[in-house]
Structure 1
């Protein structure tokens, strides 16, 4: 296996239209890194440049200690798993998995050994004589992954491999990919638009927006310490709630929403010192759904707000309550015992110590 290093990578198509601007990231040997972001952010283009399927406009790309900008895909020692499986319909599973090895002139006994081992890891030994049309989507995706495994490449690349599967099968396959990564001790780079996949699979995650890296960090750091408002709103289900306002100081430093419906005393939140330079300035308050409760937070500063329930989603283990706050739709994650109904007024408490604050002009987190 090998590390992958991107130094100031850029990609332009017509004229100077850059879909990737200036990306510098390192993927450590044996690490599982996920590229995540909304549609059109450049994540698949970035993966295709690593694979050698797209030319690099600017910057340097290294796999191991070798600069590979001008090295064709077939010589980069990578294996890629696509969204659409890309299996040969007239070949059996065994033949599909063995095809690339045959082209490289690997002896038959070694091919059979590699294919059998990969099939055993993926639990598809009983499918080796079937053809793709006789298998489910999940089985076909395992075959596509198996075809990559038998090559024993330096780096595995995955381009949204689970997007064609149903929700239950996606969950099962995520667990299998985690197990596979541990067994292979492989360097893996994985593209997805699904932040749940990103959070559950990645050792580290690259959050992309419009061709730029917003943050490159561990899943928990992205969730707990987002560097800007975009990352805070993109990572997490349900997304973070946001409210515009400003920092004021009369008797105490506080956050005031634009219509003064929400007033948060900042003196007991641990954020007063860092927010003092923002007195009189516009900021955005962010709070996650699980930090809004129907009960006060013990030994911590709470903001109390009476709201009218707009919608309720009973999830079994929890209840998601939707309610308006100054024209914004807020979400609270409450206990399943809460029996709420549309139009019902309810008193909720915000954990002020868990609030995030962002500069309204730059959208950067105020730390």
Structure 2
């Protein structure tokens, strides 16, 4: 397959705003990279520039080291799967999948071999004589993917291909895409606004915001070591909890004073103490994942928090407790048995594990390490 390199890529529409500012990423050969971010962050625009459907304002786009900025889409050896499937309604599945190969004047025997092989991989061999109107959304999406596979391109691009499917089918299709990636050993770039899709599919993930790359890393690194507050809040379900406050020195120990509540959260971890030294007297934000708020103290670094229970969601395998502490709203991920001791509208104590706390600079929103 191929590696794709974007160096200082930018996109602006005439005298209008710049939608992509300065993107530099390297997609390795046979890697599955996901572009994720909220609506309007520029992820689909970036994908369309790689495909050649949008002009690049500045920067270099390289495919296997060759600059392809000005190469037309048909000559880039890149296949794209769209959100709306884009199938021809009057053609059968076989004809839809074979259409691009016929335009290349490929021999009929070779076309049949490629279409049959792709259909076998996608398990749609029994659908080759059907037309799109006689198939479900999931089946149509497989046909669209099959049409890309038969081209045997260097790079596959996916633009939110699962957004039209229901939740159960999205989950099933995610598994199929993972299997497909392993079978084809292909370079794939995938766009989604769904961070669950991004976390489950991507070898690495590009988190975008307002045309800028916030972080480019593996799913677990994004979750456990976010580079800034935006990534911390965007990646993870439920999102990371944030407590605004101030760093102070109390009895030789640096403490985090929460906003709206007269209490200290002592920071005893040596590395955290060192990192927060320049911030004594300054406003910072503490971030904590839902699973690190517990109903019992898990270690000596756990700090009790007085909270009020606003709502409880027991989902069988886990439970979510939505609570308020002062002016801050938090969510805790608990076991189904732990949540039985809590009641909506009542006061309770949750323990915050400072060993798992993240701190963010209030001015730059960057993580403090």
Provide TM-score, normalisation by structure 1: 0.98
- Superposed, which structure 2 residues align to 1:151-300 within 5 Å? 151-251=151-251, 252-268=253-269, 270-298=271-299, 300=300
User: Which runs of at least 4 in structure 1 moved beyond 6 Å after TM superposition?
Assistant: none
After superposition, give the CA deviation of every residue in 1:22-74 in whole Å (9 maximum; x if it has no partner).
00000000000000000000000000000000000000101112211111101
- Whole-Å Cα distance in 2 between the matches of residues 269 and 135 of structure 1? 60
Residue 350 of structure 2: aligned partner:
348
Residue 5 of structure 1: aligned partner:
5
- Whole-Å Cα distance in 1 between the matches of residues 269 and 54 of structure 2? 53
State whether residues 48 and 54 of structure 2, in contact with CA within 8 Å, keep that contact through their aligned partners in structure 1. yes
Structure 1 residue 262: Cα displacement: 4.2
Residue 66 of structure 2: aligned partner:
66
Report the aligned-residue RMSD: 1.0
State whether residues 269 and 301 of structure 1, in contact with CA within 8 Å, keep that contact through their aligned partners in structure 2. no
After superposition, give the CA deviation of every residue in 1:126-151 in whole Å (9 maximum; x if it has no partner).
10000000000000000000000000
After superposition, give the CA deviation of every residue in 1:66-91 in whole Å (9 maximum; x if it has no partner).
21111110110000000000000000
- Whole-Å Cα distance in 2 between the matches of residues 274 and 44 of structure 1? 37
State whether residues 19 and 42 of structure 2, in contact with CA within 8 Å, keep that contact through their aligned partners in structure 1. yes
State whether residues 269 and 353 of structure 1, in contact with CA within 8 Å, keep that contact through their aligned partners in structure 2. no
Number of aligned residue pairs: give it. 366
* More displaced 10-residue stretch of structure 1: 322-331 or 56-65: 322-331
**5+ unaligned residues in a row in structure 1: which ranges?**
none
- Superposed, which structure 2 residues align to 1:88-127 within 5 Å? 88-127=88-127
Structure 1 residue 326: Cα displacement: 2.6
Structure 1 residue 16: Cα displacement: 5.0
Structure 1 residue 14: Cα displacement: 3.3
After superposition, give the CA deviation of every residue in 1:166-215 in whole Å (9 maximum; x if it has no partner).
00000000000000000000000000000000000000000000000000
Residue 363 of structure 1: aligned partner:
365
**5+ unaligned residues in a row in structure 2: which ranges?**
none
Residue 328 of structure 1: aligned partner:
328
- Whole-Å Cα distance in 2 between the matches of residues 349 and 269 of structure 1? 20
Structure 1 residue 305: Cα displacement: 1.2
After superposition, give the CA deviation of every residue in 1:91-127 in whole Å (9 maximum; x if it has no partner).
0000000000000011111111111111111110110
Task: Classify the secondary structure of the residue corresponding to 1:59.
Answer: strand
- Whole-Å Cα distance in 1 between the matches of residues 292 and 95 of structure 2? 53
Residue 24 of structure 1: aligned partner:
24
- Whole-Å Cα distance in 2 between the matches of residues 345 and 269 of structure 1? 33
- Whole-Å Cα distance in 2 between the matches of residues 303 and 352 of structure 1? 7
- Whole-Å Cα distance in 2 between the matches of residues 295 and 269 of structure 1? 24
Task: Classify the secondary structure of the residue corresponding to 1:271.
Answer: helix
